[in-house]
Structure 1
Amino acid sequence: MAQITTGPRAIFSAPWVYDLAQNLVGANRSRARLVRDHLRLRPGMRLLDLGCGTAAMLHHLPRDVAYVGVDLSESYIESARREFGARGEFHCGDIARTAPDVFGTFDVVVANGLLHHLDDGPVRNMLRVARTVLRAGGHLVTIDPCFDPGQSRLARLVITHDRGRNVRTLAGYAELAREMFTTVEPRLRDDMLRIPYTHAVLECRP
Structure 2
Amino acid sequence: MGQRISGIYRLITIPSIYKGLMFSLGADNAIARYVNEALRPSPGLKMLDVGCGPANVLSYLPALDYTGIDMNEKHIAYARERHGDRGRFLVGNAAEDLKQEEATFDLINVSALLHHLADKEAISLLASLTRLLKPEGRIVTIDNVWLPRQRAAVKLINTLDSGVNIRTPEGYLGLLSGMGLEVETITWNDLLRVPYDHFVMIARKAS
Q: Confirm or deny a common fold (TM above 0.5).
A: yes
1:178: how far off? 2.5
Contact 1:181-1:204 at 8 Å conserved across structures: no
Question: Where does residue 160 of structure 2 map in the other structure?
Answer: 161
SS of residue paired to 2:145: strand
Aligned: 1:131 with 2:107: no
Q: Indicate the residue corresponding to 1:87 in structure 2.
A: 86
Q: CA deviation at 1:179?
A: 2.9
Point out where structure 2 has 5 or more consecutive residues left out of the alignment.
none
1:3 aligned onto 2:34: no
Match of 2:25 in 1: 25
Indicate conservation of the 8 Å contact 2:69/2:90, yes or no. Answer: yes
Give the Cα separation in 2 of the matches to 1:198 and 1:183.
23
> How large is the Cα RMSD of the aligned pairs?
1.3
Q: Residue in 1 aligned with 2:181?
A: 182
Q: Distance in 2 between matches of 1:97 and 1:115?
A: 17
Deviation at 1:197, TM superposition (A): 0.2
Q: Quick one: percent identity of the two aligned structures? A: 37
Q: Is the 8 A contact 1:4 1:165 kept in 2?
A: yes
2:62 corresponds to: 62
Amino acid at match of 1:189: W
| TM-score relative to the length of structure 2 | 0.95
| TM-score, reference length from structure 1 | 0.95
Q: In 1, distance between residues paired with 2:101 and 2:170?
A: 32
Alignment size in residue pairs = 205
> How far did residue 99 of structure 1 move?
4.1
* Matched letter for residue 44 of structure 2: G
Q: Give unmatched runs, 5+ long, in structure 1.
A: none
Equivalent AA in structure 1 for residue 114 of structure 2: L
Q: Distance in 1 between matches of 2:98 and 2:43?
A: 27
> Are the equivalent residues in 2 in contact too, given 1:183–1:205 (CA < 8 A)?
yes
Relative to 1, partners in 2 of residues 1:83 and 1:188: Cα closer, same or farther, differing over 3 Å? same
AA aligned to 1:44 is G
Indicate if the aligned counterparts of 1:178 and 1:184 stay in contact, CA closer than 8 A.
no
2:193 aligned residue = 194
1:173 maps to: 172
